[in-house]
Structure 1
């Protein structure tokens, strides 16, 4: 009887912890089991704010997947980070907390025909989720950061906000953007991210907040089992009744909910007999429910840096990063009270979301389906992102000199990748082919987003303190910019859509608007797999709100309120 629960949740990342927390804390207090393939991730030292850039290289926290050779990326096999252990991606990402734009969620609602996903409803969930510290860093005035209390929550389990201190030139850089024609935005999480903002982080008081905070302490009716990778769902007829993990069986009297992420949930579905018939037949997996869309529609955001050396004296972070004793002493200070240089350097940046003024005139845009064009021209939908103050030396071979690293992302990528079986063994990873930059539109927007960033770096306000280019394209020609993308592009850990939801009768969907796997009773998928849009930002917030929304739907359906 110990192996029977009302709900079995698979995956301890943002979505899984949100589902587990929402169900377990509902008034009727059902029994909930949360299975996580990785460990507890309970070492507090993994939460150092300023060291968030290197957690993804910790092999205990990252599955370490790679793509297949990417044709438009120099045939390189790119890293495809995937969080492992409680917290999932929120434990290894760059901790930028962006909720995207209101039009993302209204589009989600339109695609699936369900007002549950409209912005007004989603914003309420975001507010309930967060404890927001809206006090900007010392010396940063309201011109740069002025969030409205009505747009944020103060009593949720997820600690987000600004740092107490920041690098000396943060407002100077923001002024440079404004002078170069990039408008300022006092809060990128208001529903309209357009403009340059002081970034909001999933960190507070020097400490990273992860999804594990949603289930800590765990209520008595929630059981959390780590080191429990799930190989398959147990299905009788067309009904899911439990899961298998390392030879053990765990049964659900009500529902199984997969929240293993866009790279993992399709694997579990396929090894359970739910997926493309040809693949299942090839690997002798009995077909329970054929669905060609499982593992398809893989989307991601791509990132690329540009680095310049800067005039002395510059910012004090250069000398800090170059002094091992100073960094060691700072870590001891952080361990005591969460303050000091590791709560300052690499912990606060500026972030901006912008439109390309001439996008409608681009042939590559005009060749897109009308619905894609309509969506991208909506008021709050950005076409690219700019991020400042990346500590590039932590993950690129750059000396710890006085430099400044900017990065750009392009949004609304039209390339659609896939993840496919390559073994009948459920413990063997899938094959990941995101087809980065395969779409002509993607290549055009990649070029133009970098070109916008180059125009900024050439503006007098910024260029007057530049010494030399350390890393960047040879010129602003299409060819040189694309060559640079091919050489330096990285995935952003923003994979979505590989078991997406839609309306009944849609040909390319796996789930209905209630997260239910079509054709299977008692089985849902509630993670970034399900999301039918690629959100305009860093997607951990969307992963959280996906889990919250699923928990609400389950609570209503099973009268748990």
Structure 2
């Protein structure tokens, strides 16, 4: 490993893979990417159905837990996060959703200038290669493949018939002009295999670009500074500590949970919090680790005696053996399933600018993130709240860089979130009780007999958890609470940017993988001072040549 690079990228997930892949396109730019996990090319990663094994184990998964959640009856929530090249895009459900245009216009209104819908759409298109959809809202020729499901599962039709029976509109493009409606999701999938950010942007270039070095099993411990400029990192690899230098910038892409942790370990964060742990304070930034929020999610489950639904039974095992052969020969069938094959967006009440609820319909009976198995076939339907009011924190457990952080999303701490989820519960049950879905249901697993609002509130507190979309802990903006400016530069220091979901001022209305990739695509242009998406120079940054002061 060489010791000096132009850019050091910390974290090989959806942000880091894009940054390393794009910046190393210039043969004269030396780039080093450091990833604590492995290569992210395990067969369980490549095979979409492998996600259930990845979510429930520590394979390519940090497997964090929250602190006890008062709004969830004191339960600790589960926080799976990808560990390896591709990050969470290597273990997620591969759903390609950008969010609603009002999300990004809202960012701009909150001080994230340059991040309105019209300004970010070109970067979504730049990243995308959509196999089916074209037109002004979709991209062709980008590295991130987006495709329809290849399972051919007849449960799709049952779901859509139930949607119509329950009075919901159908939608075959959640990233089109209209977001609301139900249908089948498009996936980050190519030829029936998972197409993670690493497969899209990074793995094809490892060993082929001499100016790109990618090191796995490399845990970054802190960012190194000279005066107030980031000049490198200290890392642990193979039991040995070493330091690497960055001539231009250090780019933190470790995600909404670990990027703020690394900033605080490096002396950037709330002064009192750092002092409490005996850490030196380089820059007091009170917003580091604040504004943590996520989509709270509740799951309905139903026993449904059909082999079209995944189940741990003898019949299911025989069916899966046939499906494995089908997958090996044609890359089609049940093993291409992301489980959450259908779903969509609905509104809890009329008059909303954008839907505030998202459904994920799973062709399996899921409980506790797949960690609790049922010897039965069935289906599940998640309902999550897209714009929660609750805000939590990410803080340090100790000054030990190898200790997991304290994660507190403060689920349902704002009573408005519980009210909105009650409405979501009723809407989702109406869908699942429509004749096309209710036919043949053997048992309503978690919610039988739940009828009154009081009972609904009780079961929501007993069973709600994450749907894997934590954001906001290094939010961008121009106010004193912002951690990065709209050019993603950490306020008050030089040579340091954050490029991951932690910079989102507010969580988008949907899955967060595609928006994180978009953020990284735009970040490349912010760094290089040109626009690949618009074919023009970028506007000069505020305080060009010197980062915005805190």
Q: 1:58-90 CA deviation, whole Å, 9 max, x = no partner?
A: 313111111111111121111111110101000
CA distance in 2, matches of 1:313, 1:17: 40
CA distance in 1, matches of 2:189, 2:48: 7
Structure 1 residues 464, 436: CA separation in 2 closer, same or farther (over 3 Å shift)? same
Correspondences of 1:42-57 after superposition (within 5 Å):
42-57=41-56
Q: Secondary structure at the match of 2:204?
A: coil
Kept in 2: contact 1:517–1:525 (CA 8 A): yes
CA distance in 1, matches of 2:448, 2:34: 45
CA distance in 2, matches of 1:473, 1:530: 41
CA distance in 2, matches of 1:45, 1:357: 40
Correspondences of 1:149-298 after superposition (within 5 Å):
149-190=135-176, 192-213=178-199, 214-218=201-205, 219-246=209-236, 247-298=241-292
Correspondences of 1:9-48 after superposition (within 5 Å):
9-26=9-26, 29-48=28-47
1:351 aligns with 2:347: no
Kept in 1: contact 2:310–2:316 (CA 8 A): no
Q: Secondary structure at the match of 2:502?
A: coil
Deviation at 1:236, TM superposition (A): 1.1
Corresponding residue for 1:98?
97
Structure 1 residues 558, 169: CA separation in 2 closer, same or farther (over 3 Å shift)? closer
CA distance in 2, matches of 1:445, 1:483: 14
Correspondences of 1:51-66 after superposition (within 5 Å):
51-66=50-65
| 312-321 or 506-515, which deviates more | 312-321
CA distance in 2, matches of 1:534, 1:7: 28
Q: 1:245-287 CA deviation, whole Å, 9 max, x = no partner?
A: 0221111111111000000001110011001111111111111
CA distance in 2, matches of 1:318, 1:8: 45
Deviation at 1:49, TM superposition (A): 1.9
Q: 1:106-152 CA deviation, whole Å, 9 max, x = no partner?
A: 2222222523x222332221122122222xxxxxxxxxxxx444322
CA distance in 2, matches of 1:416, 1:175: 37
Structure 1 residues 191, 548: CA separation in 2 closer, same or farther (over 3 Å shift)? farther
Q: Secondary structure at the match of 1:295?
A: coil
User: Which stretches in structure 1 are left out of the alignment for 5+ residues?
Assistant: 135-146, 361-376
Deviation at 1:320, TM superposition (A): 8.2
CA distance in 2, matches of 1:176, 1:455: 9
Kept in 2: contact 1:320–1:327 (CA 8 A): no
CA distance in 2, matches of 1:346, 1:23: 31
Corresponding residue for 2:495?
522
CA distance in 1, matches of 2:266, 2:140: 41
Q: Secondary structure at the match of 1:54?
A: helix
Q: 1:383-438 CA deviation, whole Å, 9 max, x = no partner?
A: 10112134225816464544332111111111111011121111112111111111
Structure 1 residues 13, 234: CA separation in 2 closer, same or farther (over 3 Å shift)? same
Deviation at 1:474, TM superposition (A): 3.4
Pick one of 332, 338, 360 that aligns with 1:387. Answer: 360
TM-score by length of 1: 0.88
1:114 aligns with 2:113: yes
Kept in 2: contact 1:243–1:249 (CA 8 A): yes
Corresponding residue for 1:6?
6
Deviation at 1:472, TM superposition (A): 1.9
Kept in 1: contact 2:129–2:139 (CA 8 A): yes
CA distance in 1, matches of 2:314, 2:157: 21
Q: 1:464-483 CA deviation, whole Å, 9 max, x = no partner?
A: 44343122263232221122
CA distance in 1, matches of 2:403, 2:311: 43
Kept in 2: contact 1:82–1:89 (CA 8 A): yes
CA distance in 2, matches of 1:529, 1:110: 18
Corresponding residue for 2:512?
539
1:487 aligns with 2:486: no
Deviation at 1:528, TM superposition (A): 0.6
| 453-462 or 327-336, which deviates more | 327-336
Structure 1 residues 491, 64: CA separation in 2 closer, same or farther (over 3 Å shift)? same
User: Which stretches in structure 2 are left out of the alignment for 5+ residues?
Assistant: 538-550
Structure 1 residues 41, 97: CA separation in 2 closer, same or farther (over 3 Å shift)? same
CA distance in 1, matches of 2:162, 2:247: 59
Deviation at 1:536, TM superposition (A): 0.6
Kept in 2: contact 1:53–1:93 (CA 8 A): no
- Count residues in correspondence: 524
CA distance in 1, matches of 2:158, 2:189: 23
Deviation at 1:348, TM superposition (A): 6.5
Q: Secondary structure at the match of 1:232?
A: strand
Kept in 2: contact 1:3–1:249 (CA 8 A): yes
Kept in 1: contact 2:149–2:185 (CA 8 A): no
Kept in 1: contact 2:159–2:437 (CA 8 A): yes
Kept in 2: contact 1:45–1:335 (CA 8 A): no
Q: Secondary structure at the match of 2:33?
A: strand
Q: Secondary structure at the match of 2:430?
A: helix
Kept in 1: contact 2:60–2:82 (CA 8 A): yes
CA distance in 2, matches of 1:184, 1:292: 44
Pick one of 106, 121, 124 that aligns with 2:122. Answer: 124
TM-score by length of 2: 0.90
Q: Secondary structure at the match of 1:545?
A: helix
Q: Secondary structure at the match of 2:492?
A: coil
CA distance in 2, matches of 1:431, 1:206: 37
